Every structure is written in structure tokens, then in C-alpha cells.
Chains A and B, each alone.
Chain A
């Protein structure tokens, strides 16, 4: 496993584009801390985001993983191009001739995906921990380390998303088209959702029925892993209560979503392998 990882990192570390994108990505992850600096001070209106409670433990785990997962597109480019480049440089053929098996080839990519996801998770963990200790109102260890399932969800979400990138990279063989294909998939998923809403329009609990089906599709499942944290924020909630809105939403990480994304990950990696095995290079 270590051998396969070092092979893949050897390919990445000399590639300027991948290096720059990775640095930007981890730089942006760090810059979540900059949210703390958002501060309006216009006469009577005083607004300091860091003091609104967004950095309170354990809410910070939810908030930061959600924000961080938006940035995953930078790494997606690295992942997709590391796959598609092997085709455009024809080095995939050379790798196989040099004695890498097709299984090892896919595994080396998958291990790299896991390594990137793990590094991102650790990064978010450390950044959040530091931010939390600076701004959080609660610093008891039991509270600090509660709700860590958001980090697990973040990790699973990245692995699933990047595995999808790998699959499209192998399927389409060109980085730009592979990312395009993922966007097309996303659009099709949204259209399907719209269609479901339309066909269930008469039934009661429309949203619920639609979500029951949609949760099995990859993009929806990944979205479900970490739900939007904004409406959970104390300040927003109290405003909503005043205007009569009632929140009964669950923000938990559901085991079902984790399982669904894990299964999709397996499907994407297995299909990549099957595709590679079937193809003549």
C-alpha cells in the first residue's frame, strides 16, 4: 500500500498544476479562520460573525466541515487530472508494461484519494480546534469533542466525491470533459428531483416522498451527509421563531447516508477497475 502511495505521489509532486491546486486548497481551508474577521461596525449596527456563536463547540464541527466541503472542487481537479493525464500522456500503458497490475493502478489512485480526504479532515480538525479554543463560549473537553461525527461525514463525503471524479476521469479520459460530465450528472439528478416533485405533487408529504427516493442518488446522498448549518445557528433560529417559522429539521449525520455514500464509492471504484480491465490500450 505504501509502495502504491509513493508511486502516485511521485507523479503528483513533480506536477506544477497539481501542486498549485493542492496548495490553494489547503490555503483556503486555513482561511476559514478568516470568517472570524468578518466584522461590521457601522454606527449602531455592530456585527461580528465570530461572536454570533458560529465558532462554539460543538457547532463549529458542523459549520466548518460544511464550509470546507465547498472547497473540495479544487482537489477534484487534481484527482480528475491525475487520472485523465495517464491517458493523454499514454503513461497508463507504460505503467502496466513496467509491471503495475491494473488492480494496483486503480488502488494507487484510490489510496491517494483516501490520503487527500484524510489530510483534509485532519486539517479541518486542527483549524476548527484552534478557532474553537479562541472563540468558543464553551471549552469543556466533553463538549469540545462531542459531535465529531461531522468529521467522519466530511471524510466519507470527500472519498465518495473524489471516487466519482476518478471514475469519470477513467470513463472520459479528458480532465475537462470529465468535470463536465459530473456537472451533467448533477443537472440530470436535479432534473430528476424536479420530475419527482412534479409527479408527487398531489400526494401529501411530497417533500418526504421525494427525499426518500433522492437520498439514494450519489450527489444527493453526499449533500445529505452534512446538512446546511445556517438555520441551526442560535441567532438565526431566534429570528425565525419571532417571525413564526418553526424548525423541526434534523441536522444529524445519518448512518444511512454514510452507508449510501460508501456503497457509491465502492461502485465507482469497482466500475473504474472493470472499465480498465475491459479496455484495450
Chain B
């Protein structure tokens, strides 16, 4: 596997605040990574460091196995951070033409990329006339101009309305489908869950986990159960079952976490034989939100 970005013991202190604490992870080509963490956990600072706009306190990072200096490497990277920053007095295509000059590429792809983000019709409007959603889409177009090896997105849906969020997600998904490596920082778990294959979890600048999304917590899954009557009986039956650990109640749904493998058929049969008829039974993996909370609470 080709390593695109590698962080080693990266550290950043703002005075007394330890924003990034001894952070190490690798980004491999072809995967979609999510950096997860609550607000203020050091996600944006980390991205700022690897993007050459924040100075690290100590540690190291290298792009493409250290073949290039950071600013050369950034020409092969597409990145958008926090808010889209463009020259307000220039039109969309003038702004993109400037970025082409900085990246040292031809301007042929401007129209193509504007079409990808549905801004082609507005390409001659000044940037200051754009809505936030359009600005964010223009930022994505600008990040795609050089057909980057890796696309870095920091809170790409922040502040957008549901339609805008949906549009941005569709764009990200289609880019990921083309095999582009993506690094997505977000505090929105369902966003990461929907698009990422790998995840790095940080809290207070410390890495809690890095690896595949589905391996984040060792889990045998859980059952969601509902009955119309005899709820107490159901709970006491479940408590006696040796494959079931924690039992929680969420509104009218009973959530039973497994400590050893158990199929839905088996539990259904077991309950039916004991006189309980279920109205609802689902076996699933814990959501990323639950995994994330488990992880951040246990550490």
C-alpha cells in the first residue's frame, strides 16, 4: 500500500493549551478516512499543520514518503478548510484560474470541475454574490482542479442547510467512488459513518483509535426488541440469557448488547418457547455514535 501522508509524534501547543498531543497515523492511498472528535479536539489544528498554515511545536509529518517538500506536495493535494476563502471581487472562474496558476496547471479543467459541483451556470458571478452552499461547492471545485491524489475536507457541511449537506455528501461519495483518497474531518458521526472506511478518533489532541470503522469496538452486535405486552417478563428472560450482557431501555425499545455470538433466529426461538411473542426484532452492529461514546467514555 502506498502511503500518502504519515504523521509521527506530532505536537502543537498554544501557550498552555495542548492542541495536538503526540499524534501519529498514516494515510494509505485509496481509503476514505474520517478524523472524528468533538469540537476543539485538535482536528483542524492537525489539518492546519499538515497543510503548512500552522507551525508544529515538535514531531514530524511527511507527504508521499518525503519525496517532496510540503508546498510542492500541496500542489498534488486538494484541500478545503473550515470556511471557503476566495477573492470576493473575482468571479468563480477567475478565482479558479488563480488557483491553477498557483498550482502550476493549465486552466482547461475549470469548466469541467464547475459542472461537477453544479456551478457552471454561475461561473461568471462574483464570489461575493454566492450563498454559503455555493461557496462551499466552489471550494470543492477548487480542491478538485488538479485531480488531487488526496482530498482533505474539514467540516465540509458545517453551516449548510439539509439540501446543501445532501449535495455536498453526494459529491464526496462520487469522488470517493472514483478511487480518490479522502481525509474528512468532522464531528458529525453519521457523516463519517456514511462515507468513511477508516477512522481516526481524537479527543483533546490525543489519538484514541485509528483503524477500520467496523473494528472500532470489539462487539458482537446488539438486539433491538419490542413487545406489545409483558415487557417486564421479556427483560427478566433476557437477563437470564447467558449470551446477553447489558440491557437498556430506549423509549419502547429494549436494547440487549451481546457478550457472545447469538443469531436472531436463536433468540426469537428462545423467547417464543418461553411464551413471548415479539413485535419487533433487529440485530445490528452498534452505530458509530455508540462506538464513539463508548470509546471516549472508556478512556
The interface of chain A, by Cβ under 8 A from chain B, is 3, 6-7, 10-11, 14-16, 85, 89-91, 93-102, 104, 277-278, 280-281
Contact = CB atoms under 8 A, between A and B. Distances in A.
B74 A99 contact: yes
B87 A89 contact: yes
A97 B53 CA distance: 7
B71 A99 contact: yes
Contacts of A96: 51-53, 71, 74
Interface residues of B, number: 31
Contacts of B53: 93, 96-97, 280-281
Interface of B: 14, 48, 51-55, 69, 71-72, 74-75, 77, 79, 81, 83, 85-90, 94, 97-99, 101-104, 142
Given A97-B51, A98-B102, A99-B75, A91 B87 contact: yes
Contacts of A11: 87, 98
Contacts of A95: 102
Contacts of A277: 55
B104 A3 contact: yes
A94 B85 contact: yes
14 contacts: A6-B101, A15-B89, A89-B85, A90-B85, A91-B87, A94-B86, A97-B51, A97-B74, A97-B79, A98-B75, A99-B74, A99-B103, A280-B53, A281-B48
Nearest to A17: B89
Q: Which of A3, A99, A277, A281 has the most CB of B within 10 A?
A: A99
Q: Top 3 A-B pairs ranked by shortest CB distance?
A: A99-B75, A101-B71, A99-B74
Given A3-B104, A280-B48, A98 B90 contact: no
Nearest to A15: B89
Contact of A91 (B14, B85, B103): B85
Contacts of A3: 101, 104
Contacts of A16: 89
Contacts of B52: 96-97, 101-102
A272 B104 CA distance: 25
A102 B94 CA distance: 22
A92 B298 CA distance: 41
Given A10-B101, A96-B74, 14 more contacts: A7-B101, A14-B94, A85-B87, A89-B88, A97-B52, A97-B53, A98-B75, A98-B102, A98-B103, A99-B74, A99-B102, A100-B71, A101-B71, A281-B48
